[in-house]
């Protein structure tokens, strides 16, 4: 089935659609911005990109157009570990010829995932800060 026909059949009602306060969003896997549009849709276009959190970094999943009917062979999973800058460079290289229109959204999601996986900074007690200020 063509991607346009899939979008026309599922755009008004599907299980991932979220309508709140006049805004229409989508919770489908592969939707980088969570916006309900054909461009960001995770199941309507033949080429989709999914950026998600992995155990130790970011996982980028690309769909193949050749094996669309075979579920196990239709996805390419690329785990990215390391710094945010290295992950961003890898995502940019992956998407440069595949879906260049989604590069900015994928980079934003990569940076947010890497930021969320950093250990939290320790919070100092207020009393310790006050005592230090009195000594100066």
Is a pLDDT exceeding 80 seen at residue 2?
Answer: yes
Would you identify the CATH topology of the domain 1-45? Enolase-like; domain 1 (3.30.390)
Share of the chain above pLDDT 70, in %: 91
Is a pLDDT exceeding 70 seen at residue 130?
Answer: no
pTM for the complete prediction? 0.80
Architecture of domain 46-118: 2-Layer Sandwich (3.30)
| Per-residue model confidence as pLDDT tens digits over 47-56 | 889 999 998 8
Count of beta carbons in the 10 Å neighbourhood of residue 37: 13
* Two tokens, residue 47: 């080429």
The full set of domain ranges for the chain reads 1-45, 46-118
Stretch 71-85: mean pLDDT: 86
Of 85, 109, 87, 1, nearest in space to 45 by CA:
1
Residue with tokens 């995502």: 91
Greater confidence (13 vs 70) lies with 13
Stretch 72-86: mean pLDDT: 87
* Mean pLDDT over each residue of the chain, to the nearest integer: 87
Q: What are phi and psi of 134, to 5 degrees?
A: -70, -35
User: Residues 6 or more apart from 40 whose CB is under 8 A from it?
Assistant: 26, 31, 32, 33, 34, 102, 105
């Amino acid at each position: 089935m063509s991607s346009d026909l899939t979008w026309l059949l599922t755009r008004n009602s599907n299980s991932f659609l979220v309508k709140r306060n006049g805004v229409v969003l989508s919770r489908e896997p592969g939707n980088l911005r969570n916006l309900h549009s054909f461009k960001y849709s995770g199941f309507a276009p033949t080429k989709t990109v999914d950026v998600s959190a992995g155990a130790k970094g970011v996982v980028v999943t690309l769909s193949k157009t050749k094996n669309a009917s075979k579920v196990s062979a239709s996805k390419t999973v690329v785990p990215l570990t390391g710094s945010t800058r290295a992950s961003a460079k890898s995502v940019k290289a992956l998407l440069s010829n595949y879906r260049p229109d989604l590069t900015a959204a994928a980079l934003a999601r990569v940076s947010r995932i890497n930021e969320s996986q950093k250990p939290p900074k320790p919070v100092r007690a207020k009393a310790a800060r006050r005592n230090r200020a009195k000594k100066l």
